[in-house]
Structure 1
Amino acid sequence: MLAVVWSAIRIRRGPAVVMAALVALTAGALAAAGWFAERDAARVTAALIAAAPPDQRTIAVRGAVALGADPQQALERFRATTESTAGLALERALAGVQLPGFLATPAGERITTELRYRDDGCAGLTITGRCPARAGEVVLPAALAERLGTTAVQHSNALGRQPLTLTVVGTFEQPGDYAITTLDTIAAAGVPAYATENLLLPAAQFSRGDPAPVAAAVARLQRNSLEVSQNAEALSRAVAAERYAVTHGIVVAAVQLAAIGWIAIGVTAWYAAEGRRADAARIALRGARRWRVLAATSGQSALPALVGAAVAGRTGLVVGAGALALIVAADWRLTRAPVQRLLQSAPPRRAALAGAALDLTVLALAVAAGYQSAVTGEAPVDGFGLELLTPVLLATAAAVLLTRLLLPPAVAAGRAALARGRVTAGLSALLLARRASAYRIVPVLAAAACVCGVAAQDWVRADAARLHRAQAEVGADRVLQIAPVPRDRLLSAVRAADPRGRHAMAVVVAHASGPGPRILAVDSSRLRAVAAVDPGPAIERLHPPAPPPIVFTGTTLTLRAAGGGTVAVGLTLAVNGTGETVRADFGAIGDDREYDSDVTACGDGCRVVALELRGDPGAQLDLSELRADGKVVVDGAGFADPARWRSTVGAAATGLQRLRGEGRMRLATIAPNRAKEVDQHLYVVDAPLPLPVLGAPGSLRDPDQSGTAELTVAGVALPVRASTVDGMPGVILTDLEYADRLTTGLTPAPGAGADERDQVWLAAGAPPDIADRLTAAGLRITGGDSVAAAQDRLARLGPAAALRFHLLAAGVALLLAGAALTVVAAVQRRQRRAETEALRRQGVPAAVLRAAGRWSALAPVVLALAIGLAAAAAARWLLRSPVRPFTDGWPVHEPPVSAPALLAALAAASVCFAAAALGSGGRR
């Protein structure tokens, strides 16, 4: 029996090779799915952890500690207790001590400043001077040191103990409300402090995406009355989501590919069995039993299938077992057919009841899968249900239904074409109608084309979504990170480097790494030219007309004023181009006369920010004129104009009252009732208030009845008037120049500048030397980013990896369908030969027969392509994709149906199917 089977395989090498290839391809693809899932999950995890900043892998612990006589030992005890309680493997641990308190300016203003000691000293800080090494030494933020104006400062603690006298030995550029000192300095205060330790977890802690160990460690630390802040759990959840996106997406593709593979194997086995009807008849005529007939016929496909399964390895066992079941089922009917029917040259008609039952089963599965996909809507796919096969079942059911409906019209069209003398068209239609079984290959081709179209659409949509997200997150084609500078200096430097405003724009980003939307203060006049995402005409709302600022150039200010009672006045000024804040103090005001103040810093120009009145409640002040080096800056009408001056904003209460004055400003000091904080400044109106902002719907708090909301800008709570704009998720825009004018001179909230980033956005056509121009203008570039780099980072995450495998699986599906098509063409070759010889004897030209043969071979391919790509478009239009472009809920607005993607899938499938149909079934 084996010799008979082997000789038959040698005669019919083509179907045998195809069967082995189908099983090997299907099993190999399933094995590759597991390998790709494991490899890509590891790659995605590594990429996500590498892109995460250290604070996302850090557990920050804080607790009260008494330093005592040996502060180093007390800190070591805290460190040991914290690490043992956490019970996690650590990459690095940095301990420190914090002492809350405040520093006093020469004018008596108290500035909240925390003294800090850290294990790594001044690491990560750009120090001008040196790092503190001895007790009593300190380094301060440059802006704070400038406000203090002295190298000997005093730090007072909250308990009211004797203040510490400190010597400033250096400054650093990073914003913040803290100072770096030594551990002995903090211990010298003699009051309880706070010990801190930052536990940096290793990358291996996040490799499996399990947040439970971190959550348990946090719970243990909190039970020890320690304050804990961390983003490590969020990183673990993000890793878990990305790994799930990879594995689930690849499983989806593998399931669809396995379905197509088994359908192709089943169709190939059915057609191979049709070609072995004569073999079954000859063996049956010799009196062989039914099982021998079955073994002789099915063995011709079973042996190649087993060879293909053996090549594929472990997964080949499952695929091989399924293939054997399909092969035996296809040949089983031959053993039950009478010998005379097996000897007929025309194939037997399919049983109507069996065919209808099979067709109804396919249609029912397609309806069930479509319903299951529709009811899940946009909910995340958490399982592996029937909905994962929806595209395959939809294309298969459509192919089954349409081929049944199109057979009668094909017969009628063929007869009508012959009656009109169109021999080629008529013969093509009748050949197809005569071989109705040829349409059994259409569901296989349609399913493969549908999977290819769906994969192409999902990839195109995800690629466009990654580009749009990269543009929205980065902001411009390129972004340069700038060392912190005053906002006015940043604006001036960028405008000097790009005078025409076509290539560069100054930006200050608040909430750069914290939760909630990012606040982007931008030079709005340049936003349309520079930004990668155009907010549209709404950008004009960011910079409405406002009174011009009060500016002057001079080194001596002269104020004509008169006072009643004990009263003194001063001016807050901002130096043009640098943003440095200086004060012009005119001293106590008495008789109506002129008072002078030296402002040498304003030799290149200054802007008047506010005037300050100090005095006993009820004291009055009249202001008539302000001159700079003899030139009038503000006249009496300017002082008297109520629209030119405003009181404070925010939680502070104003300590000034404006009185009626003719041709001058008349002010009086007051004591507000129940006011915790009093602001005795009167500010120049040179920016709109409320401040206009743009944001995505839901990004801002609900406004009050007047339409005004509140937003913290530069550490100051400002009233804002918001407009909503789509396409800017997680972003709030405001004008940098107006925001700077409104916040200059105001005291920011503690820690306000710690999460701010100064940036310069560059347009796509920025000149190569723009970075050199910015450096020459006084900015120091510390890093950068780009849309291309951000897009590449997103392409290394889970959904992109899964969709790449979908494209690979689509290619394999085309190969499987094409291989099955070659068997169909080869099996029908003998019947076509007999038909061709008969028609040639009747005088039909050879050219007509060749054309009819080509069209009859290509017609199922054309029909399958139309059905498959229509099903692919319908699947993405009606149903959600099981692989979302992002795992964090980022909104995707790109259309799911893509005509270019469908055309690319059509081209690939056409080449594969046409080559299989014409190459395998052709005959000269």
Structure 2
Amino acid sequence: MIALVFSMVWARRGQALVVALLAMFGVAAAVAAPAYLRAADRATASGQVETAAAEDLAIAVRAYQSDPRTVKPGADLVGPDLERNGSVLLGMPGFDYVYSVEYPTIGVEPSISYATRFVYRQDACEHLVMTAGRCLIGEADIILPEATGRRLELAPGDSIQLRAAVRVVPRGEPPFYAPVGVHKQFLVAGFYRVPDPRNVYWGTHAYFAPSSGLPPGANEPAFVGSATLHAMDRGAVEAGLDAYPRAGALDVDNLPAVRDGLVAMQAGATSLGGGVEMRSELPALLDRIDSGRDAGHRIVPVLAVALVLLACLTIFLAVGYGTEGRRPELAVVALRGARWGQRWWLATGENLVAILIGAVLGCLAGQLLVNAFSAYRFPGVGADPGLDSLRWAPVAAGAAVLTALLAERRQIATPVAELLRRAPSVPTSARAIAVEAVVVILAGVAVVQLTDDLRGVGTAAAALVLVAGSLVAARLLIPLATLLGRRALRRSRIGVALAGFQLSRRPGAVRLFALLTAAVAVIGYAASAVDVAARGRVDESVLGTGAQRVIELGPTGRPNLLAAVRAVDPEGKFAMAAMRLPKDPAAPTVVAVDTTRLATVAAWPSGAPAVESITRALHPAAAPPVDVDGAKVAFDITADGFRPGKAVAVSVVLSPRDGGNDEIVELGVLRDGRQTYGQTVPACAKGCTLNSVRIVGGTGTLDVSGHITVHKLTGGAPGNGVPGDVLTDPSRWRASEGGEIGRSADGLRIDVTSLNGLPSGMFVQPAAAPDPLPVATAGIGALPTIEGLDSRPVRVSVAAALPAVPGAGAPAVLTDLTYADALATDGAASSNALVWLNSSAPADIVDQLAAHGVTVTADVRASQVRARLDTQGPAIALWFYVIVAVLAAALAAGALILAASVDRDRRVEDLSALRGQGLSRAALRQATLWTYPVLIAVAVVAGLGVALLGWWLTGWALPLAGLTPPAIPLAGWPRPVTIGATALATLLMLAGVAVLAGRRTLRRIR
């Protein structure tokens, strides 16, 4: 009997090969999913490490040691000694450690307002490039930055003196450095350049960070050796121990040990006592890796389940088709009195052998497919194959065998008379409808379960929806095909009628349509997920950044920021000044931008009002600013009504129009009567704008009230004064709490009513900005005030609503930087200044900005953010959907080939007979070549409809943006062009297979 079965396999080896291949695809899908997850885990960890910043990888331990000369002889240092006791911190597996010490010194720089960073760092010479001289050898050697050597005109071999220093901050005066040790003579051994300042070796010390207001190289370290460090007479120092990973230390298999090492290292730092601080962003990096892996483990199984179900449907179709082709053979076996077991074995043995062979090949093919794809998509990472990938292979193989038995059960149980019919009856029984209803109900239950989480039954929700939708569509095929066939017959379109009747009279055609629809639905669902996720990553990288490129600046004044940007881009083609307002943690993010350039530079969210309308709403016309031109600023003021001991002091904030930080001009305490108060302000030689006038009472003084009249405000040069009509027009001014603007024909009258409870005093400002300040909000309802640039509340009016604010998302607020600055009163430099750039920015934009008085501290590009997102778990997991789409197309093509091969002999007989009875060649071609292509065309349309239905019901649950999606609106539906391209590609591929199969049939008809 076994020999007979093998003979049957060989006799129908073509069909057996197709069944084996289909089983191989099903088992390969079950093997590929866990194998791909393993590869995805490795790729996620590797990608996050490769795109991480140095501070994300390093672990920094800082120990602060007091001046050793204040300790009694024989006593320990006041503070932990990492050099002697740091061994308790050496617990990170796969990490290297670097010991360092630094403190400030003076003696070589011409000013004591800044110090030379005196640094010992273990193995520093290995990470430096010497541009002149040599690196450290002797006890008195020192190497200096290349820029410092040029600036101070030093050469290798020169001698310099340094001494330890301490920073002194006197009250009311600029800070400076004072000596705390004796001089030491040093030999300048050479000058260095740093090939990679961002190398993780340098840790988080910011040795080479740009410095604001310092000469070139002044902020960079002067490196010395260990012996020099101990020989130096010094005061307090900061010792450091930096740990950073070696290659492979953060591979996915090592992450649990790394976490345990972090815990041990923190315990060691705690054991050293006070004065030790441990800082690291590595836990956040590990959390991102775990989050990406978790997202991948949720995404991959969704279509893996769908692909396994599709493979089972394909095997059901293939076995059913093959068994239908053997109906006469099964009838003969039954007529000869074969026992029930023999009938089962002869009916199923051929397919079972093919399925078992295919299952074995599928175990190998699934892993090889993942290996090949990983080598292509994740080079250098590897798939790390293992037996764990085979854990679902027996389940898939068992499902394939069970599917084959179910497909053959009906034919074995069919009476002999029915088996001998050439046109078998179409199954429309209540049992078939009940089975399909059960699948639909299961799909509904799984969708409902998705409201909780994408786990358990919810994982199969998408697969069940796609299969259920395909079965419902197939249930509608028979009446539709019959109707079209009868209509074509009445119109004498014989070829079309024969094609329609072929579909309506053949039960296998119905199952084939269900399979093709399901395959197209899986492909469409995969394309939808990939497209939506890709668009989300683009939005997150561009809209989340704010623009194509964002440059972060060191502390600078708002007028200086605006002037610098307008100087490098006077026409507003590529650059825009921006700033994040000081943020209360409980308040939404506020982004202030130069709205006149908003349309040119900023990324704009889809679905938002036109950017031009937002610009008009946020930057309405306002009164012109009050200008003060000239370096000798003078105020002609009359003060009256202030009681003895209740005088007020006045200061003003002037903003240079051509760049530079705000100038705070102290006019001093006002005296009774009319007086002139003046200061020389060199920054206003080219013109300034009056920002605010501050009026403050004495410390602890209550019930301050009186009247101030500003008669004149001049800049020193003739004709440079503020026009009198500006001072006498109360509408051109506004006062804060504590006073009000009065009417006077002799100047600006300020009535101070009470300064009680106002430690900062009251402020008077020109009405050069609308009040309340217009803003656009995202994700916020009512908003009475925001925190201003000076941290004071600012009244606002909501002028427009946005889906998201560029660079902030939602909830967030967008407003105009010029007006926000005009409402600020502090005159202080801000540390949150930004320059947004579009793709047209010149390559040397950083140098251009630096030349205009701002310091660049970071350069963030949307392309870099996109690269990081592309290495996260969701993006990597979605590549599996590409594999699924290819396998689904292969399953559909295999089913088509099998159906055509099984039907070929009978169709050749039928059509040859009709041909002999006068069927035209044209009708014959239509009947032969149109049957399956028409079926495919309808299946593509129906399949994409099912895919979109499945996406609507389940796509929202996929963590395409990670487990913590950003606060920006992300795409929810695939683009029509993506769906259209998917439909066209699928139609061409499957129709091509069908046409080739039809041509082979046509050639056999005589």
Q: TM-score, normalised to structure 1's length?
A: 0.79
- Measured after TM superposition, the shift of residue 577 of structure 1 is 2.6
Q: Which residue of structure 1 lines up, in the alignment, with residue 835 of structure 2?
A: 760
Which amino acid in 1 is paired with 2:629? T
What whole-Å deviation, never above 9, does each CA across 1:81-136 have from its counterpart, x for those lacking one?
999699876776999999xxxxxxxxxxxxxxxxx99998999xx99999997554
Which SS does the other structure have where 1:520 is aligned? strand
Which amino acid in 2 is paired with 1:20? A
- Measured after TM superposition, the shift of residue 280 of structure 1 is 3.6
What whole-Å deviation, never above 9, does each CA across 1:292-335 have from its counterpart, x for those lacking one?
44334433222222222222234654433333333344445555
Please give the alpha-carbon distance, in whole angstroms, between the structure 1 residues aligned to 2:331 and 2:404.
Answer: 18
Does residue 821 of structure 1 match 2:850? no
- Partner residue of 1:277 out of 308, 313, 327: 327
Contact 2:639 2:708 in 1 (8 A): yes
Mark the CA change 1:265 to 1:640 in structure 2 (over 3 Å): closer, same or farther: same
Contact 2:933 2:994 in 1 (8 A): yes
- Measured after TM superposition, the shift of residue 835 of structure 1 is 0.8
Does residue 599 of structure 1 match 2:686? no
Q: Which residue of structure 1 lines up, in the alignment, with residue 536 of structure 2?
A: 465
Mark the CA change 1:298 to 1:80 in structure 2 (over 3 Å): closer, same or farther: farther
Most deviating of 577-586 and 845-854 = 577-586
- Measured after TM superposition, the shift of residue 250 of structure 1 is 1.1
- Measured after TM superposition, the shift of residue 810 of structure 1 is 1.7
What whole-Å deviation, never above 9, does each CA across 1:543-568 have from its counterpart, x for those lacking one?
23333222233232344344567776
Please give the alpha-carbon distance, in whole angstroms, between the structure 1 residues aligned to 2:252 and 2:490.
Answer: 75
Q: Which residue of structure 1 lines up, in the alignment, with residue 818 of structure 2?
A: 737
What whole-Å deviation, never above 9, does each CA across 1:718-743 have from its counterpart, x for those lacking one?
44444542233244323222233333
Please give the alpha-carbon distance, in whole angstroms, between the structure 2 residues aligned to 1:491 and 1:209.
Answer: 46
Which SS does the other structure have where 1:633 is aligned? coil
Q: Which residue of structure 2 lines up, in the alignment, with residue 295 of structure 1?
A: 345
Contact 2:531 2:978 in 1 (8 A): yes
Which amino acid in 1 is paired with 2:1002? R
The aligned runs of 1:217-228 (5 Å cut-off) are: none
Does residue 9 of structure 1 match 2:9? yes
Q: Which residue of structure 2 lines up, in the alignment, with residue 108 of structure 1?
A: none
Which amino acid in 2 is paired with 1:538? I
Q: Which residue of structure 1 lines up, in the alignment, with residue 425 of structure 2?
A: 349
Q: Which residue of structure 1 lines up, in the alignment, with residue 867 of structure 2?
A: 792
Which SS does the other structure have where 1:490 is aligned? helix
Please give the alpha-carbon distance, in whole angstroms, between the structure 2 residues aligned to 1:902 and 1:171.
Answer: 49
The aligned runs of 1:856-871 (5 Å cut-off) are: 856-871=931-946
Mark the CA change 1:825 to 1:572 in structure 2 (over 3 Å): closer, same or farther: closer
Contact 1:23 1:316 in 2 (8 A): no
Please give the alpha-carbon distance, in whole angstroms, between the structure 1 residues aligned to 2:891 and 2:696.
Answer: 88
Which amino acid in 1 is paired with 2:819? Y
Please give the alpha-carbon distance, in whole angstroms, between the structure 1 residues aligned to 2:730 and 2:637.
Answer: 18
Q: Which residue of structure 2 lines up, in the alignment, with residue 556 of structure 1?
A: 632
Mark the CA change 1:24 to 1:94 in structure 2 (over 3 Å): closer, same or farther: same
- Measured after TM superposition, the shift of residue 697 of structure 1 is 1.7
Most deviating of 760-769 and 585-594 = 585-594
Which SS does the other structure have where 2:289 is aligned? helix
- Partner residue of 1:545 out of 621, 627, 631: 621
Please give the alpha-carbon distance, in whole angstroms, between the structure 2 residues aligned to 1:696 and 1:387.
Answer: 33
Q: Which residue of structure 2 lines up, in the alignment, with residue 173 of structure 1?
A: 212
Please give the alpha-carbon distance, in whole angstroms, between the structure 1 residues aligned to 2:553 and 2:677.
Answer: 41
Most deviating of 897-906 and 817-826 = 897-906
Mark the CA change 1:823 to 1:893 in structure 2 (over 3 Å): closer, same or farther: same
Please give the alpha-carbon distance, in whole angstroms, between the structure 2 residues aligned to 1:173 and 1:741.
Answer: 25
- Measured after TM superposition, the shift of residue 770 of structure 1 is 5.5
Please give the alpha-carbon distance, in whole angstroms, between the structure 1 residues aligned to 2:551 and 2:753.
Answer: 48
Mark the CA change 1:117 to 1:253 in structure 2 (over 3 Å): closer, same or farther: farther
Q: Which residue of structure 1 lines up, in the alignment, with residue 202 of structure 2?
A: none
Which amino acid in 2 is paired with 1:812? L
Q: Which residue of structure 2 lines up, in the alignment, with residue 630 of structure 1?
A: 718
Please give the alpha-carbon distance, in whole angstroms, between the structure 2 residues aligned to 1:280 and 1:251.
Answer: 40
Residues matched between the structures, number: 860
Please give the alpha-carbon distance, in whole angstroms, between the structure 2 residues aligned to 1:544 and 1:562.
Answer: 35
- Measured after TM superposition, the shift of residue 527 of structure 1 is 0.6
Contact 2:17 2:354 in 1 (8 A): yes
Please give the alpha-carbon distance, in whole angstroms, between the structure 1 residues aligned to 2:650 and 2:789.
Answer: 28
Q: Which residue of structure 2 lines up, in the alignment, with residue 105 of structure 1?
A: none
Does residue 663 of structure 1 match 2:692? no
Please give the alpha-carbon distance, in whole angstroms, between the structure 2 residues aligned to 1:288 and 1:174.
Answer: 100
Identity %: 26
Please give the alpha-carbon distance, in whole angstroms, between the structure 2 residues aligned to 1:642 and 1:72.
Answer: 69
Q: Which residue of structure 1 lines up, in the alignment, with residue 250 of structure 2?
A: 204
Please give the alpha-carbon distance, in whole angstroms, between the structure 2 residues aligned to 1:742 and 1:893.
Answer: 34
Which SS does the other structure have where 2:721 is aligned? strand
- Measured after TM superposition, the shift of residue 228 of structure 1 is 9.0
- Partner residue of 2:570 out of 490, 499, 503: 499
- Measured after TM superposition, the shift of residue 811 of structure 1 is 1.9
Which amino acid in 2 is paired with 1:560? D
Q: Which residue of structure 1 lines up, in the alignment, with residue 313 of structure 2?
A: 263
Please give the alpha-carbon distance, in whole angstroms, between the structure 2 residues aligned to 1:718 and 1:93.
Answer: 49
Q: Which residue of structure 2 lines up, in the alignment, with residue 73 of structure 1?
A: 77
Q: Which residue of structure 1 lines up, in the alignment, with residue 196 of structure 2?
A: none
Mark the CA change 1:666 to 1:330 in structure 2 (over 3 Å): closer, same or farther: closer
Contact 1:507 1:761 in 2 (8 A): yes
Please give the alpha-carbon distance, in whole angstroms, between the structure 2 residues aligned to 1:389 and 1:293.
Answer: 35
Does residue 138 of structure 1 match 2:225? no
Please give the alpha-carbon distance, in whole angstroms, between the structure 1 residues aligned to 2:691 and 2:627.
Answer: 9
In structure 1, runs of 5+ residues without a counterpart are: 99-115, 155-169
Q: Which residue of structure 1 lines up, in the alignment, with residue 139 of structure 2?
A: none
Mark the CA change 1:720 to 1:199 in structure 2 (over 3 Å): closer, same or farther: farther
Contact 1:444 1:817 in 2 (8 A): yes
Please give the alpha-carbon distance, in whole angstroms, between the structure 2 residues aligned to 1:577 and 1:404.
Answer: 80
- Measured after TM superposition, the shift of residue 273 of structure 1 is 1.6
Which amino acid in 2 is paired with 1:553? D
Does residue 254 of structure 1 match 2:328? no
Aligned CA-pair RMSD? 4.9
What whole-Å deviation, never above 9, does each CA across 1:771-823 have from its counterpart, x for those lacking one?
66545545555553333333333233222222221132022112112211211
Q: Which residue of structure 2 lines up, in the alignment, with residue 47 of structure 1?
A: 47
Please give the alpha-carbon distance, in whole angstroms, between the structure 1 residues aligned to 2:790 and 2:178.
Answer: 26
Which amino acid in 2 is paired with 1:634? V
Please give the alpha-carbon distance, in whole angstroms, between the structure 2 residues aligned to 1:214 and 1:247.
Answer: 26
Which SS does the other structure have where 1:271 is aligned? helix
Which amino acid in 2 is paired with 1:376? L
Does residue 805 of structure 1 match 2:885? no
Q: Which residue of structure 2 lines up, in the alignment, with residue 321 of structure 1?
A: 398
Please give the alpha-carbon distance, in whole angstroms, between the structure 2 residues aligned to 1:573 and 1:591.
Answer: 25
Please give the alpha-carbon distance, in whole angstroms, between the structure 1 residues aligned to 2:635 and 2:360.
Answer: 98
Please give the alpha-carbon distance, in whole angstroms, between the structure 2 residues aligned to 1:787 and 1:822.
Answer: 47
- Partner residue of 2:440 out of 366, 386, 395: 366
Please give the alpha-carbon distance, in whole angstroms, between the structure 2 residues aligned to 1:222 and 1:672.
Answer: 49
Please give the alpha-carbon distance, in whole angstroms, between the structure 1 residues aligned to 2:554 and 2:697.
Answer: 40
Most deviating of 420-429 and 889-898 = 889-898
The aligned runs of 1:83-98 (5 Å cut-off) are: none
Does residue 915 of structure 1 match 2:992? yes
Please give the alpha-carbon distance, in whole angstroms, between the structure 1 residues aligned to 2:961 and 2:301.
Answer: 18
Q: Which residue of structure 1 lines up, in the alignment, with residue 775 of structure 2?
A: 693
Mark the CA change 1:854 to 1:78 in structure 2 (over 3 Å): closer, same or farther: same
Contact 2:30 2:396 in 1 (8 A): no
Which SS does the other structure have where 1:474 is aligned? coil
- Measured after TM superposition, the shift of residue 265 of structure 1 is 0.8
Contact 2:462 2:954 in 1 (8 A): no
- Measured after TM superposition, the shift of residue 139 of structure 1 is 9.2
Please give the alpha-carbon distance, in whole angstroms, between the structure 1 residues aligned to 2:556 and 2:292.
Answer: 38
- Measured after TM superposition, the shift of residue 206 of structure 1 is 8.4
- Measured after TM superposition, the shift of residue 257 of structure 1 is 0.4
Mark the CA change 1:207 to 1:886 in structure 2 (over 3 Å): closer, same or farther: farther
Q: Which residue of structure 1 lines up, in the alignment, with residue 802 of structure 2?
A: 725
Please give the alpha-carbon distance, in whole angstroms, between the structure 2 residues aligned to 1:532 and 1:321.
Answer: 53
Mark the CA change 1:422 to 1:382 in structure 2 (over 3 Å): closer, same or farther: closer
In structure 2, runs of 5+ residues without a counterpart are: 104-116, 128-144, 153-159, 180-208, 223-228, 364-389, 699-703
What whole-Å deviation, never above 9, does each CA across 1:420-462 have from its counterpart, x for those lacking one?
4322223323333332432221111111011111111222222
Contact 2:551 2:859 in 1 (8 A): yes
What whole-Å deviation, never above 9, does each CA across 1:210-258 have from its counterpart, x for those lacking one?
8986997899799999999876665544333321211221111111100
